[in-house]
Every structure is written in C-alpha cells, then in structure tokens.
Amino acid sequence: MASKQLRAPGSKPGENMLWGGRFTGGLDPLMVSYNESIYFDCKLYAQDIDGSVAWARANHNVGILTADEFSAIESGFKKVKEEWESGTFKIVPGVDEDIHTANERRLGEIIGKDIGGKLHTGRSRNEQVATDMRLWLRDELRKIEGYLVDFLKVTAARAEKEIDHIMPGYTHLQRAQPIRWSHWMLSYGTAFASDLERLREVIARVNQSPLGAGALAGNCFGLDRQAMAEELGFDGLLWNSMAAVSSRDFVVEAMQWGSMLMLHMSRWAEDLIIYSTGEFAYVRLADAYSTGSSLMPQKKNPDSLELLRGKAGRAFGQVSGLMMTVKGLPSTYNKDLQESLEPMLDHVKTVADSIRIATGVLSTLAINPAMMKASLDPFMLATDLADYLVKKGVPFRETHHISGQCVAFSEKTGKPMNEMTHEDFQGIDTRFGKDVLKCFDYEVSVEQHSAQGGTARKSVLEQVEVMKKILG
C-alpha cells in the first residue's frame, strides 16, 4: 500500500517548505520525519534569530528592506525569541522542517507574510545553518572554557594546599619513586592546561562568519559581510563562499578537541578509581559522586569516575562517525552534512557535563595521607641509592648495577633496604659510607628532584604558578 503524502491542511504541495515551489507532490510521511531536524536543531533558535536580524539589517542597508520593514522584522523576531524562551513556541509537524523554517514561519504569522517573505532575500539555508552552528558552537565552547578554568583552579588550589603529602609514583602500575600528591594532580593539570590552550585556538577558528556566502556562489545584492560578522561577534570572514557553506571542519576540530580532553579525563578518572579501591585507599569520593550496590550494603562505587571513563568512548565514536560522513562528499553542500549537527550537540553536552562532574569530584574528594605514606616502599629509593654513588664519582651504569645488588640482597635476606646496616652495604660495595642510610628518607628523596618540573616542593609550587598564568 502506498504511503500517504504529507502536507499541511489546505496547502498546496510543497507550499510551506522553503524549497517547495519546484515540487508538485507532497512528501512521504516517513521522508518528512527522516528529513526534518527541528526536534534537535531547535536548540539553535537564538542564534538563528540573531543571524536573521543581522541579515535583515544588511538588506535594509542596501535598500532591499525599508526602515519600517526592518523594524517589523526585528520586533517580530523579538516576540519569536520570547516564545522560545518561555516554552510557548508551537512547532508545526510536517511544516517546521528545521529551526530556520520554524522561525520564518512564525515571523510571518506575527508580522504578515508580505514583509516576512522578504527576509530570505538572497540568503540560502546552506549559509544560514553554517552560521547558526558556528554561533552556537562558539558560545558553548566559551562556556566549556569557563568550566575547564574552574576545574584547573581547583587542581591548582589543592596542589598548593596539599603539597606536604607524599605517595608512591607508578610506572607500569608498579611502585616506582616517591612523589608528592600535588605532583600527581599537576601531572593531569598540565594535560588539561594544554587542552585549555588548544580550546582557545579552536574557538578562534570556529568564530569565522560564513554569512553572505549564499548557496555556494556568494551574494548578489552587495551586502556588507563584514558588518554582519561584527554584529554577530565573529572575529572575521570565511573568504571563499564554496568553502564557507560546505566545510564542517570546525565541527570535526571541536569534536577532536573534545575527544582529546575526554582522553585525559578518562585516564584521570582511571587513576582515581584505582586509588579509591580498598587495596589502595588513597582517596575517598564524596557521597554526591558515588552510588551503592543493590545487593551489597557495604559497597561505595565510583560511578561518577566510571561514567567519565565510559563517556570518553562515546566522544571518540562521535568524531569518528562524522569524519566518515564527510570524507567522501563532493563540493559543496550535501544533505549528509545535516549529520554533523546531532553529534555536535551531544558531544558538546557530554564534554561540558564531564568537566563539571570532574570539578565536583575533585572539589569534594577526601585524601588519606596515612595510606599514601604506608604504601611507600624502601625499594622505591633504589634509584636514590644509585644517585648517592654517582655523587661520589661512580658512573651511573655501575651504580645502577650496584643498587640492583642491594635490592637482591634485601629480597634474599628478607631485610628491608632501610633496615640494612652499613656493614650490609659495605659487603656489596666498599664505597658506601655511613651516610648511606640517609638515602632512606622519603622527604629527602622528593626534595632531591628539584629541577624544573620535578616533585620537590619548590618545583611543584613553580608548576602551580605556571598553571595560574595559563588560566589568566
């Protein structure tokens, strides 16, 4: 049985579509829903209205709209925006194909179709959607920038406040060398600070105006593109009209950035998940960011961190999917590009929410310095033992071997290295003096790593100041 063709009651075929004049038959109802984007691109209502007002002003400036017509359009859009903001805007199914159609349809109902029908003069939805997306993405990325700054401020503040606590540092998830807890926090803080710097570069590239590019060939009414760009807060223009309407590089790049951020977030979460286990017990999550078990009353699960780790995969998938969509498209605009909008909306929300959750986790996290200290192992000072001999003029390759012999002696005798006597060390190498026992002090160990970027107090505080400068 053939599908019924959909059109608004009393309308002619295609009459309510921006492209409808060419068509004499209605659309398959499934095609209508398959094609429409109004139920997700309605989030861009404010940007679409702002872009339309700037467009109308530019048309007024070249004489296409009279002063009264522009005033009517501007005041009409103010009412449309108020309806969206108050939640009273009524989407008309089968008519409001997207946010552009919906806003223009409602404008015509408010001010009359004769004036409202002049709004779209010389403009294509190709440039309109690109403009809306860039405006929305710019605004959201600026919010994300603020969230990331807040997260890094918490990181820097805790690193400064909790600098006295020493914990094991790990390589291969094996205890390696003692470090300051603050140094661990700043190791991820450094990655997130780099993300912040990259984000600011992404925002600058997103914030370029495609408005005035037309469908692909440009505008034929001599509109002042620079004036429209300045009104909308763009930093500049996209100088090729074909590239302006077809490129979704700005979405891909923003999502690639988000994926990098989520990669770092996932690793950060993984460390804290490990540190929160009973076997480590270095940290304890606040109840606000934990859940329990439906069966085991004693459980306190780090669900916030596990979700951060899990949502990273979601972010990676979104950018991969979009790149597969755009990789084989011919120039310029193709409907495939509609598939850039939904992943962009979800990706931005996922990243924004994740940073805010991470900030909440870190702000409320309780640490257990006693467990950190109890996990320190004298074997972690084996490198310090080698360095001790280096300072006496012994080549490092030789000291590394000698220190390894000390480790082997400790393992064989069951005597911890910090309980070995001077005679024990002398039996391995006569160049060990009585002061060798001073090597087995964790505070001394971390303070020896005083070069820039190290885990000594001075170096860690220097890292904090570097981070503060990046935050601005």
Task: Give the CATH number of the domain where residue 305 resides.
Answer: 1.20.200.10
**CB-based contact 40:345 (threshold 8 Å):** yes
Co-location of 295 and 416 in the same domain: no
Please check whether residue 206 lies inside any domain of the structure.
yes
Question: Is pTM beyond 0.85 here?
Answer: yes
Co-location of 370 and 382 in the same domain: no
pLDDT value of residue 353:
98
Please check whether residue 82 lies inside any domain of the structure.
yes
Q: How many residues belong to the chain?
A: 472
Co-location of 208 and 304 in the same domain: yes
Please check whether residue 219 lies inside any domain of the structure.
no
Co-location of 392 and 255 in the same domain: no
Write the single-letter amino acid at 224.
D
Write the single-letter amino acid at 115.
I
Please check whether residue 68 lies inside any domain of the structure.
yes
Co-location of 266 and 133 in the same domain: yes
Which residue matches tokens 């806003």?
Answer: 103
pLDDT value of residue 10:
43
Q: From CA 419, how far away is CA 407, in angstroms rounded? A: 12
Please check whether residue 87 lies inside any domain of the structure.
yes
Co-location of 340 and 252 in the same domain: yes
In this structure, how many other beta carbons lie within 10 angstroms of the beta carbon of residue 409?
16
> Where does a domain end: 116, 137, 170?
116
pLDDT value of residue 461:
98
Q: pLDDT > 90: what percent of the chain?
A: 89
Q: From CA 51, how far away is CA 136, in angstroms rounded? A: 11
pLDDT value of residue 283:
98
Q: Each residue of 212-241: pLDDT tens digit?
A: 999 999 999 999 999 999 999 999 999 999
- Phi and psi, residue 209, nearest 5°: -90, 125
Please check whether residue 38 lies inside any domain of the structure.
yes
Co-location of 41 and 134 in the same domain: no
pLDDT value of residue 18:
54
> Tokens at residue 252, please?
């891909």
Which residue matches tokens 């005597």?
Answer: 415
Measured CA to CA in angstroms, residue 388 lies from 109, 179, 406, 417, 444 at distances of 84, 18, 13, 14, 12
Answer left, alpha or beta for residue 211, where phi above 0 means left and psi between -120 and 50 means alpha. beta
Co-location of 262 and 173 in the same domain: yes
Domains of the chain: total: 3
Q: From CA 132, how far away is CA 384, in angstroms rounded? A: 59
Please check whether residue 452 lies inside any domain of the structure.
no
pLDDT value of residue 298:
79
Parent domain of 50: 20-116
Co-location of 133 and 148 in the same domain: yes
pLDDT value of residue 25:
58
Co-location of 362 and 251 in the same domain: yes
Q: From CA 128, how far away is CA 37, in angstroms rounded? A: 14
Among 194, 322, 317, 354, residue whose Cα is nearest residue 250: 322
CA 235, 240, 241, 243 dihedral sign is negative
Residues of the chain scoring pLDDT < 50? 1-14, 19
Q: Each residue of 336-366: pLDDT tens digit?
A: 999 999 999 999 999 999 999 999 999 999 9
Considering the candidates 33, 293, 331, 450, report the single residue annotated as catalytic: 293
Co-location of 290 and 180 in the same domain: yes
- Phi and psi, residue 167, nearest 5°: -140, 170
Q: Each residue of 403-452: pLDDT tens digit?
A: 999 999 999 999 999 999 999 999 999 999 999 999 999 999 999 999 99
Is 172 an active-site residue?
A: yes
Among 255, 250, 231, residue whose Cα is nearest residue 346: 255
In this structure, how many other beta carbons lie within 10 angstroms of the beta carbon of residue 55?
26
State how beta strands 236-237 and 208-209 pair: parallel
Q: Each residue of 25-54: pLDDT tens digit?
A: 566 788 887 878 999 999 999 999 999 999
pLDDT value of residue 16:
53
The HSE-up count of residue 116 (CA atoms within 13 Å, CB side) is 20
Task: Give the CATH number of the domain where residue 53 resides.
Answer: 1.10.275.10
> Where does a domain end: 116, 143, 161?
116
Co-location of 288 and 311 in the same domain: yes
Please check whether residue 457 lies inside any domain of the structure.
no
